[in-house]
Amino acid sequence: MHRREFLQNSLAVGSAAMSWMVLAPMGARAAERDLVEVTLEARPYRYPAASGARFTGLAYNGRVPGPLLRVRYGQTFRARYLNRTGGASTIHWHGMILPNDMDGVPYVTQPPVPDGGEFTYTFKPDPPGFRWYHSHVGDQEALGLFGAFLVEDPRDPHADVEAVLVLHDVPDMRSFREALAGKSTATMNRPPGLNFNGMHALPAAHAMGAMGAMGGMGDRSHRGAMARSMTSMPMGDELSYLSHCVSGEAYPHTRPILVKVGQTVRLRILNASPTLTHYVRLAGHRLRVTHSDGNPMPRAVTVDALRIGVAERYDAWFEVTRPGAWLLTSLMGDTRDHRQSILIRTPDAANRVPEVPAPSLEGAQLFTYRLAGVGTPLPPDAHDPYGWANVRKTLLLGGGKPGHRHWTIDGTIWPHTPKIDVRHGDRVLIHFKNPTDMDHPMHLHGHVFELVEQSGLRLHYPLPKDTTLVPAGGTSTWRFLADSPPGRWVLHCHDVIHMMDGMMTEVDYVPA
Ligand SMILES: [Cu+2]
């Protein structure tokens, strides 16, 4: 294929090239086609100045994030993947239920595509909603090989303005290599809420007690993050970052989203960071969250701020009720830092100084699984209160001791981790115990599961997801019906260092 043809193809993908962030309505012709075809070419890529990083990574079709892929539910999608990365590569279609041999896990679902080679992925994107795609080989995703994928749902309510926001952080690859060896000197990025109440200056035990008393923070999931951040001691496995971006740019270079008074705005927010949980707040507005990982939640919830773990997505809505200019910001440890922001404004507010969000999460109502799912206490170990499952598996997460390079499941690393065998039609319950000092964004391929339990709380409105933060010092329970296409579906931590260090297993369909 010639270069020009290839460019035309990429332009044809749901008008993505014209409107990377703010979506134009899908063209009638694009919507009517049975087949949407795209060429994705991965190559080395020099990050532009607007990204805030001087860095050579990798990109799909010459941009980070890669092109926004967009289909209507029911269309067939075909991607011709040209690998020019200099190494082996694959593409994983995150959140999709698809034939196992299209899932893009090297040596598990396909041989890796060699450098200079190509591979064609074909499937009917399912279920509808906000998905994404990324390399599943080594550090390639961290270098820039990722993008958003929208499967438009005909049942969706109308939004006047729709935008896709990809949060990502550009790693310092020297710290990446050191982290894999357990020798990184980087320290944990502090969750906001610490700096402005000064608790980071207190001994850890006091501060954690005080945190526990804070409204909206009682998900216990901060404990481990705090245990690490309190000490500022390098744990050996943290990354340091060169820049923090929204859709490939750092504020003030991020392109504003223009809105009008009276409009309803839908933001689809993806955390594509290699390791960082993000806390997102929009100045002057609360956010109504309707979808978790692209899937409609049983009950929408309105919050002051979002917590988005690595690989998670949320659909967040708000109404424009007055003229103005507001920053949407991922709060950093240094709360004067608004690099990871975009401006949302009305047309008449071009010269206004934008309102910035409250810099701390203290007192904020934060999106947590407990809040969204309405959690109430369970008796200890009663994590299948429904008596629903016929296959139950407990996975013990481990590792992360200073200087140790492995993150484990049941004390073992991939490929020696215990596998979960299921038969078609099984009702499966997976219970995670996480005694480590970090939250782990655990992800299952090829399924949408329900999060039914979190740290001893039963969720009365289970959240439909493909990735959840299993909290430090806590537990999570997923349930799902094993009715995906047969094959080997990997289950792993989406923190890239933890995954490469071995925190991965698989759900295997075996003959009935
Ligand atoms: Cu992890």
User: Tens digit of pLDDT for each residue in 412-423?
Assistant: 999 999 999 999
- Residue 187 in tokens: 């320290």
Domain-terminating residue out of 152, 183, 200: 152
Quote the ligand 1 centre to 494 CA distance (angstroms): 6
Confidence of residue 239 (pLDDT cuts 50, 70, 90): confident
Residues 148 and 167 in one domain: no
Quote the ligand 1 centre to 495 CA distance (angstroms): 5
Quote the ligand 1 centre to 441 CA distance (angstroms): 6
Confidence of residue 403 (pLDDT cuts 50, 70, 90): low
Please tell me the distance from the alpha carbon of residue 132 to that of residue 165, in angstroms, as a whole number: 12
Confidence check: pLDDT of 41 > 80 = yes
Q: What percent of the chain has pLDDT over 70?
A: 83
Residues 275 and 162 in one domain: yes
Quote the ligand 1 centre to 168 CA distance (angstroms): 17
DSSP 8-state code for residue 418 = P
Quote the ligand 1 centre to 154 CA distance (angstroms): 35
> Which residue matches tokens 């923070």?
217
Residues 351 and 440 in one domain: no
Quote the ligand 1 centre to 316 CA distance (angstroms): 26
User: 38 vs 28, which has greater pLDDT?
Assistant: 38
Quote the ligand 1 centre to 397 CA distance (angstroms): 8
Confidence check: pLDDT of 7 > 50 = no
Residues 8 and 56 in one domain: yes
User: 66 vs 386, which has greater pLDDT?
Assistant: 66
Quote the ligand 1 centre to 117 CA distance (angstroms): 31
Residues 6+ apart with CB under 8 A from 258: 22, 161, 345, 346, 347
The strand order across the sheet containing 35-46 reads: 56-60, 35-46, 76-83, 118-123
Residues 65 and 188 in one domain: no
User: 183 vs 463, which has greater pLDDT?
Assistant: 463
Quote the ligand 1 centre to 401 CA distance (angstroms): 13
- Residue 459 in tokens: 């969720």
Residues 314 and 417 in one domain: no
pLDDT value for 110 = 98
pLDDT value for 96 = 98
Quote the ligand 1 centre to 260 CA distance (angstroms): 41
Out of 231-245, 296-310, 362-376, 393-407, pick the least confident.
Answer: 231-245
Confidence of residue 66 (pLDDT cuts 50, 70, 90): very high
Residues 346 and 425 in one domain: no
The strand order across the sheet containing 313-319 reads: 241-246, 161-171, 264-271, 313-319, 287-292, 295-303
Which CATH number does the domain housing residue 504 bear?
2.60.40.420
Domain-terminating residue out of 120, 152, 184: 152
Quote the ligand 1 centre to 469 CA distance (angstroms): 9
User: What is the average pLDDT across 228-252?
Assistant: 79
Quote the ligand 1 centre to 466 CA distance (angstroms): 15
Confidence check: pLDDT of 210 > 70 = no
Confidence check: pLDDT of 363 > 50 = yes
Q: How far is CA 296 from the centre of its chain?
A: 16
Residues 260 and 145 in one domain: no
Out of 150-159, 276-285, 336-345, pick the least confident.
Answer: 336-345
Quote the ligand 1 centre to 497 CA distance (angstroms): 8
pLDDT value for 380 = 67
Quote the ligand 1 centre to 362 CA distance (angstroms): 26
Quote the ligand 1 centre to 275 CA distance (angstroms): 8
Out of 159-163, 209-213, 431-435, 487-491, pick the least confident.
Answer: 209-213
Confidence check: pLDDT of 187 > 50 = yes
Quote the ligand 1 centre to 327 CA distance (angstroms): 30
Residues 311 and 176 in one domain: yes
Quote the ligand 1 centre to 13 CA distance (angstroms): 34
Confidence of residue 224 (pLDDT cuts 50, 70, 90): very low
pLDDT value for 155 = 85
pLDDT value for 446 = 98
Quote the ligand 1 centre to 106 CA distance (angstroms): 20
Quote the ligand 1 centre to 490 CA distance (angstroms): 14
pLDDT value for 64 = 96
User: What is the average pLDDT across 136-155?
Assistant: 95
In the chain, the number of structural domains is 3
